[in-house]
A and B are shown apart, each in its own frame.
Chain A
Amino acid sequence: MKIITANSLLTGAPIYWAGTGRWSAELSEALTIDPADAESALQQASAQSEIAVNAYLVAVEARGAPVKREALREAIRAHGPTIRPDPGRPDPGRVPACLPDQSPDQSPE
């Protein structure tokens, strides 16, 4: 399955295509798309250039979580940097820690 993500034109923040005409800031609200329909959906989403910049497809598992190469990158996009939870977005704990002894919610300084 696929989802469509992009950056918000106004803020640059990651956004997710939630169906015709609708974008969400939450990965969990991304519409999962059958691969056969993905290209046409991407065309539709890309047409909304007043909202979304650089729209692209991401492969996801059945429950909507990105897989393969994109998994870490998309997790960081969705949840914020793994090293400074303060400026990130909610639930940094969902981002895989790089190092086993590193707690993602530890204060950097």
Chain B
Amino acid sequence: MYRYDEFDETLVRERRLQFADQVARRLSGELTEDQFKPLRLMNGLYLQLHAYMLRVAIPYGVLNSVQLRALAGIARRWDKDYGHFTTRQNIQFNWIRLGDVPEILEALAGVEMHAMQTSGNCIRNVTADHFAGAAADEFLDPRPYAELIRQWSTLHPEFSFLPRKFKIAVTGASHDRAAVQLHDIGLHLKPGRDGSPVFAVFIGGGMGRTPFVGPLIRDELPADALLVYLEAALRVYNRHGRRDNLYKSRIKILVSALGADRFSAEVEAEYQAMRTESPPFPPEELARIRHYFAAPPFETLPADDPEFQALRARSAAFDRFCRTNLHPHQQPGYASVTIALKPIGGVPGDCSAAEMEAIATLAALYSFDEIRVTHEQNLVLPHVREADLFALWEALHAAGLATPNAGLISDIIACPGLDYCDLANARSIPIAQAIAERFADMDAALAIGEVKIKISGCINACGHHHAGHIGILGVDKQGEEFYQIQLGGRADEQARIGTITGKGLPGPEIPDAIERVIDRYLALRLDSDERFIDALERLGRTPFEEALHHGAA
């Protein structure tokens, strides 16, 4: 993985010292809250319902074991023994004291981490496919490009005061696991006509109050022109994006107002003008970055380890885990393992310090020291030998981390909601817990198959409810929590915004309503290979909406 060079080190150190001084000046009264607030936000420090919340950047969701241990240490020393992995592949600490932040940033800097650009109207932490560099369906590892974007966008003076926040996601695989079409800019790295790498560039996607699937603005952008093109797109946004109305300030509103064709033409004109004066980034720089993402020293192994297959045949529980929590690897004899942070009754994305330390140890033992954070609020060990999977599973099981539900109905995305968040209108986590408990039988959940439930506690959609096969949005109705249900959203290469169904339901009715929808699906599906989303698209939402709201099974 990427290691800081002297520029990175200097930048992080100087920024840390600068913020420590700003904190001291706030505590001494030299800075007012109005002066201090934008400064703390630029360093990822929010004020939530119960305490300060520090959001730490995990670039494109990649961690090593030392970094994960450092996060565990922060949870233990300065928080309440846990952290919360988010849909932005970051981690949030919920119980931070202002005066501790300089020390926390020092601890982060010690392991090449920081909290810059995790808030504010700038280019936020770039996200990526969590199986990058490992997935069997990948054309090219997107992480070197993600790192290039990180370096280019970090404290970029032209893009530090954008009309609104800006999120970029990258994938290099045919199946989109990074929700690229639901980002301000989504990049799909793929082979061009001559086989050389090109990007499909989607611009103007997003969720929130006004959700859009991003239109394809440029196909087959030569990969070495990426930064020039991004700069051209950001310039058009900086120039024309609205600053007069917070609700209309995201690039998706600009793209929608201009129309994709006109927006594309504007960016193209800017790009062509810039190309003459801004050459593509030096190939040696990309080569230097790519070197950090070289494949680990894999062994040459047979595709199906016989011992692994024998252990699966012998242990039903191990086999059960392998069916849901393994992902095909590009290297024969290896697999990627999802550690679902979704124990039944737990809080989606929460991870205790002890669990982080256990995972760090297992990553060092079994996965070339690498861990990934997924936007679905799980962790991944990307490169595990099939021959090690049984031992890994036993260790995960012992640590309470082997819930075999990755991709199933209880693998729910939920934002912190009104239990923590200052912006929320309703609670998300108790709804996620109640649904997961309703579908706690793992064999029944496996029979149901893939269902993506995503829950947000307000219209800002941190819980990606617009992209859930079943999306749930918490609303406040005269002091009572109600939940609107959407059907048919998806975040993959066929991204779609879900459709709102009927009126909102009170929280206690949600598990029954979801169960009725699932029962209807089981009754109507062609066979067990037809997933919930496929059946929904084949049949339309009417039968499911009927089950949801009229209780007719």
Contacts and interface: CB of A to CB of B under 8 A. Distances in A.
Given A83-B430, A99-B508, A14 B479 contact: no
B430 A14 contact: no
A82 B430 contact: yes
Determine chain A's interface SS by DSSP, over half rule: loop
B343 A109 contact: yes
Contact of B97 (A12, A67, A77, A82): A12
A84 B508 CA distance: 19
Given A72-B479, A99-B507, A87 B95 contact: yes
Given A50-B29, A87-B82, A108-B350, 6 more contacts: A10-B27, A10-B98, A11-B97, A12-B97, A54-B33, A72-B479
B347 interface: yes
B418 A72 contact: yes
Nearest to A49: B33
A81 B421 CA distance: 10
B49 A77 contact: yes
Given A99-B430, A99-B508, A109-B346, A10 B99 contact: yes
Contacts of A9: 26-27, 33, 98
Contacts of B27: 9-10
A76 interface: yes
Contacts of A82: 419, 427, 430
A72 B481 CA distance: 9
B478 A102 contact: no
Interface string B454-480: 000000000000000000000010110
A54 B37 CA distance: 11
B549 to A, nearest CB: 19
A100 B508 contact: yes
A80 B508 contact: no
A59 B49 CA distance: 18
Nearest to B82: A87
Given A49-B32, A72-B481, A87-B80, A7 B47 contact: yes
Interface residues of B, number: 42
Among all A-B residue pairs, the 8 with the closest Cβ atoms? A87-B80, A81-B419, A12-B51, A98-B430, A12-B52, A69-B479, A83-B429, A98-B507
Contacts of B511: 99
B97 A98 contact: no
Contact of B478 (A49, A68, A98): A68
A82 B47 CA distance: 19
B160 interface: no
A76 B49 contact: yes
B80 A86 contact: yes
A82 B10 CA distance: 42
A82 B434 CA distance: 13
Contact of B47 (A53, A86, A99): A53
Contacts of A67: 479
A63 interface: no
B126 to A, nearest CB: 28
A105 B187 CA distance: 45
B361 interface: no
Nearest to A81: B419
